[in-house]
Structure formats: C-alpha cells, structure tokens
Structure 1
Amino acid sequence: MNWKSITYNIIWFSISFSLILIFSTQDKEWFINGREINNICDVMTSIESDDIRFFGAILTLPLFFPFLYAIFWKKQHSIWQFSVFILLMLFWLWRFIFRYLIC
C-alpha cells in the first residue's frame, strides 16, 4: 500500500467520522450537564424528543461504499484498510445503535 492510498484513507476516515458525529447527535443531547441530566439515557427518558437516528443512519450508510469497493471489488486487501473500515463501522454502530441499547 502506497502513501497515496494511506492519505486517501485518512481523509475519507476524517470526513466520515465527522459526518457520523454530526448526523448521530440528538437535538437535546446538549442538555447533558452532569447535574440533572447525566447521560444519553437520561435525555431519552426525561426529555420528550423526536428520534432522528433512522434518518441519520440512512444518510451516513453510503460513506462505507468506497471502502467496500476498494476492499472487495478492487481486491486491495491491506490491514490498514480493514482496520480503518472496522473502526469506522464500530463507531457508526456505537453512535446509532449500541449507546441506546445500554439504557
């Protein structure tokens, strides 16, 4: 894997990470202050809000297509690309699914 490919992976990871973070943030999540509302579970139970996770998940899911294309169709198998893809997928799962399951 050359430096150009690594640079593209880093840039795409940064863009994807930022977009996942933006689209997975709840509108009332800013109320978490450590006194009355301690975590995301308190936000979901005490403040009535619209759940926009489905819309954000659908919007950010196409961010994985370039990684899937490079890994499976171009057959560029490298540990760096797999690790970036897995890290990004785990972050996506945490932001949209797993952090709400622990409530």
Structure 2
Amino acid sequence: MKYSVCLLSILVLSYVDKKDFIDGDEVKDICDVRRMSAIDDTRDVTASLTMPFILPFIYLVVRRKLRSSTLNVALFLLIAFWLWRFFIRFAMC
C-alpha cells in the first residue's frame, strides 16, 4: 500500500503538463518540449516533496540490515524510478 502511494506521488508530481505538445513531426520528444516552450521547472521542489515518501523504505531496509532481497530490490527500483522521473530523463537532452 505504501509503495503504491509512493509511486503514485512520484508520477503525479513529476508530470510535465506540456507533454501533450508532442506530435511526432515538429516536436518529437520531451527535450523538444523543454526547448520550445517556457516550462516552469519545479523539479527541485517536487523531488524534495516526494523524498519523505522514500525515506521510510530506506529506514526499513537499513533496519533489517539489507537481509531481505525483496525489500532491497523494491527500494532500488523505487529510487531508480524517482531518479528517472525527476532528473535522468531531462539530463539526456
């Protein structure tokens, strides 16, 4: 339950509202959207808003001393998803 709430909050807060401009002809990807329109970049605020949702998972994994492979994989995937939605997909532009 908490994992799905965390994923949902990351999805909602990392949504780029100008994504509908991608038509495949003139605007091909998210990088073109960022170049062609003036998007207010709020990733620093929204990324810090979603970080408190990830911290309990980090605490749980450390508390169990990294013994649970399921929790380790879930935490790794959650952090990778968070990094992708807020930073990596824009760094590749």
The alignment's TM-score, normalised by the length of structure 1, stands at 0.81
Q: Which residue of 2 aligns with 1:25?
A: 15
2:63 corresponds to: 73
Cα distance between partner residues in 1 of 2:91 and 2:8: 23
Aligned to 1:91: 81
Does 74-83 or 11-20 show the bigger shift?
Answer: 74-83
2:54 to 41, 48, 64: 64
Q: How far off is 1:92 after superposition?
A: 0.4
* Matching residue's letter, 1:52: T
| 1:54 equivalent in alignment to 2:44 | yes
- How many Å apart are 1:76 and its aligned residue? 6.5
Q: Which residue of 2 aligns with 1:82?
A: 72
Poorly superposed stretches of 4+, deviation over 6 Å: none
| Greater Rg by CA | 1
Are the aligned partners of 1:26 and 1:52 in contact in 2 as well (CA < 8 Å)?
A: no
2:92 aligns to what?
102
How many pairs does the alignment contain? 93
Q: CA RMSD in A?
A: 1.5
